[in-house]
Amino acid sequence: MTPVTWVDVFATGPMTGNQLAVVGDADGLSDEKMGHIAAEFGISETTFVCSAREGGDHRVRIFTPESELPMAGHPLVGTAWVLHNAGLMAGRGVLETGVGPLSVQADRAGGNMIQAPPEAGALLDPEELASACGAPAGETAPAGVWSTGVPQAMFAVADDAALADAEPDLAALRRLGERDGWIGISAYSLIAASHGVARVRVRHFAPGLGIPEDPVTGSAAGALGACLAAAGLAEAGALELTVWQGAMLRRPGRVDVAVDAPGGDPREVSVGGRVLPVMEGRLVDA
């Protein structure tokens, strides 16, 4: 029987943050089986730990209820924590992903990962996004696509109240994502920013992946850090960003993002946070 560990990633307390199921010893599972298991669990992502192929510690495959992802933040942070605390990986390691090997760290409290190099994509129409998100646009940074492994849309809203009141048109967001090449959108409001330190509140919508609203999104938090660093929030070549997300889903979470941005050009992004165990078990039919 195949082992499964269920954890909450980027948690602020018990039963908060984003849920993750980590399936171990997954070499014998087919792609179809992995997809069925992820759909059965019904949470935003499930990871499958396989044998390394490129010299890393393990290979990790990531599935949403509808598709496989090359990389995602909370799944890799949570998987690193599970592997480390099971004695299957040291405190520092390398996980092989669909975007290549990525460095991770873990201890008893949580985990951290260095994401893929940041990339800026196309600028987007803020008014079009405002209509689809059901929230007025803000001016913190230009609306556009950013990636630290997977392309995400970044959209500043006017303020916290507008973010809380947002009523997204999920069909419209799905169409825009398919048209413009992004897999999810982070609508965010800037709480404070000073001397290279910033705090934001975020709601993230990814209907194209079968996730109407994600509790806490590590890949998008990293991409947002790169976006804000490029928009001038980095100071002395660095930005420390705290992302608060999930309150609307009663799963409040926190992501700590660090961006190395010499001259305001984001070069390296890491994300990390607390991980809490929920339960352990085994798949009977796998």
Q: Are strands 185-194 and 100-106 parallel, antiparallel or unpaired?
A: unpaired
Amino acid at 161: A
Please indicate whether residue 45 is annotated as part of the active site.
Answer: yes
Q: Which of 32, 45, 178, 235 is catalytic?
A: 45
Q: Which residues are catalytic, by number? A: 45
